[in-house]
Amino acid sequence: MKVLTAAFAAASILFVGPAIADEALAKKNMCTTCHAVDKKLMGPSFKEIAAKHKGAKDAEAILINATVKGSKGVYGKIPMPPQPKAEADAPALAKWIMSL
C-alpha cells in the first residue's frame, strides 16, 4: 500500500509540477502585475487569452511575440508594453497559458 501511495504522489507531482512551475514563472516575470489566471485585472486573464487563441496553430508563437514585443491593445484598450526580460521564459509561459 505504501508503494502505491508513493507512486501516486510521485505521478501527481510530475503531472502538476509544470503548471505550478510556469505560474511561478509568470510571477517571476511580473506577468501577474497585470494578469491573473482566471480574472481580468489590468489585462485579460490567462484563461481568456488561451480561449481567444484556442485552435490556432501559431497560438504559442503569437503569445511569445506579444510578450517580448508587446501588443497593441488586442484584448482591450490598454496596450501591453514589451517585456524583453521575459524573452527566455516566453516559450514556457506561452505553453502554460495555452494549457489553461
Give the Cα-Cα-Cα angle 54, 44, 49 (nearest 5 degrees).
10
Query: In CATH, what number does 20-98 get?
Result: 1.10.760.10
Q: Check pLDDT > 90 for residue 49.
A: yes
Average pLDDT over residues 2-23: 52
Q: Check pLDDT > 70 for residue 35.
A: yes
Cβ partners under 8 Å of residue 32, min gap 6: 26
Domain range summary for the chain, segments of one domain joined by +: 20-98
pLDDT of residue 9: 44
Average pLDDT over residues 50-65: 96
Coil, strand, or helix at residue 42?
Answer: coil
pTM: 0.76
